[in-house]
Amino acid sequence: WFIAKRGLAVGLAQSGLGVGIILIPPLVGSLIVHFGWRFACTALGAAVFIVLFAMSFFLIGHPEVIGQLPDGRKNLSSPKLRDESWEALLKEETWTVGEAIRTRSFWILTAAFFCTWLFVFLPLVHLVIFALDLGLSRESSLVALSFLGAASAFGRLGMGAISDRIGRKTALGLSIGLQAFSWVWILGTRSSWMIILFAGVFGLSYGGVAAVFPAIVGDYFGRRKAASVIGAIFTLSGVAAAVGPLVGGYLYDLTHSYRLAFILGALTNLLALGLVFASKPPPQKRQVVSSA
């Protein structure tokens, strides 16, 4: 639906995830206290199903379906509409998943997202335990977790909009670099303010990555099949997101410390940073066909 402000649009759409980190845990906690965890899980699952099922009826895949064009345009006949967005629309190519997976660009982006997502959910799962091990209060731990969610929402909005101005690779690199820094910072965390600062920086970077990645995939492979290509990348990278917290927990049980997990978090993000800057859009299909 968007070209000119694609980053802002994706960031705005995804900011609900950050807000959810703030609102849902207290709600679920209250349900568990009053009705038990089985009822809480059942109620949460039912609510998610009902809301998503209902919302799916209001989604329209492409603006062309209702006679419009990206960015709310009605037509391209007016010279005033001939801006960068107009030029991008004319040059845009559509890559299917089958075509995308045969490009180097797809696998570099997938590897980058795999690396940055490998330990991204470690703080969401283990931050409270880590803070309690430091001797901090449970209240401070929960404040840090809520602050992470709030920062994530701002990161999605802010970095998505910034990427429209400074470029996707620069914005994505900045987000991943901040995430690597946050892992290094937490290695020296010993107080409440330090862990809250970690939560803020990590939340901003995590939100920024989540917002810019779908946008850069749309830039590289076009709008029309972007959802399928993004889904393929996220499916492959989702394995990393599932494994990371387990690895972190295993390392904690083995060494009685999260230090090694945090170091691995920094290193994998540095690797992701290099992969992002090594990525570039796939060659135009016409060039690929002619060279073949």
Q: What is the pLDDT of residues 260-284, one digit of tens each?
A: 999 999 999 999 999 999 988 888 7
- The two structure tokens encoding residue 283: 């060659």
Confidence at residue 122, expressed as pLDDT on a 0 to 100 scale: 87
Confidence at residue 290, expressed as pLDDT on a 0 to 100 scale: 41
Confidence at residue 154, expressed as pLDDT on a 0 to 100 scale: 83
Cα–Cα distances (Å) from 82 to 73, 78, 79, 90, 233, in that order, read: 11, 7, 5, 10, 33
Confidence at residue 176, expressed as pLDDT on a 0 to 100 scale: 94
Q: In the chain, which stretches have pLDDT less than 50?
A: 78-82, 85, 287-292
Q: Does residue 35 contact residue 42 with C-beta atoms inside 8 Å?
A: no
Q: How far apart are CA 110 and CA 230, in angstroms?
A: 9
Confidence at residue 273, expressed as pLDDT on a 0 to 100 scale: 93
Confidence at residue 289, expressed as pLDDT on a 0 to 100 scale: 41
Confidence at residue 238, expressed as pLDDT on a 0 to 100 scale: 80
pTM: 0.74
Domains of the chain: 6-67+95-283 (1.20.1250.20)
